[in-house]
Amino acid sequence: MAFFTWKEHFSVNIEEMDIQHKMFFEYLNQMFDAVRRSDKEENLEQLFDNLTEYADHHFNDEERLLKKNSYSDLGTQRQQHAFFISRLKELKNRHGSSNFSLPESTLAFMKDWFLEHILQEDKKYGEYLQDWPHI
């Protein structure tokens, strides 16, 4: 059973962003599976690094899109993105001393934060950009 299953009501109605959101959750599912299998520390650490890199890539793409379209709440998006990336780094430092471990509570935090961010913040820009023909 997947840790996270995408539902259509999560969509922000911008194909590129929805694809990226789905990919982020796919990374979380891979990490969840690895934790459940008790994978080696190196594999967990690599998966965590992949997810962090992907989140950073996605946030940069999202912020570029919002800046290009003069989205008025770009500052809030940037603050939330910066918080999430810094939190991921803190979590890695906490769990990655001599042996990397990743409790399910860390995965739950990432899933909950990202989903809430999509539903609370990203949905707003989705509605805003529906009026822009040049996304």
Contact 106, 76 (CB under 8 A): no
**What distance in Å separates the CA atoms of residue 64 and residue 49, rounded to the nearest whole number?**
23
- In this predicted structure, which of 71-85, 91-105, 117-131 has the lowest mean pLDDT? 91-105
* φ/ψ of residue 132, rounded to 5: -105, 120
The string of pLDDT tens digits covering residues 79-89 is: 999 999 999 88
Mean pLDDT of 30-45: 85
User: What's the distance, CA 17 to chain centroid?
Assistant: 11
What 3 state SS string does 36-99 have?
HCCCCHHHHHHHHHHHHHHHHHHHHHHHHHHHHCCCCCHHHHHHHHHHHHHHHHHHHHHHCCCC
Helical (H) or strand (E) element with 110: helix 104-117
CATH class of the domain at 13-129: mainly alpha
pLDDT value at 131 more than 90: no
pLDDT at 81: 97
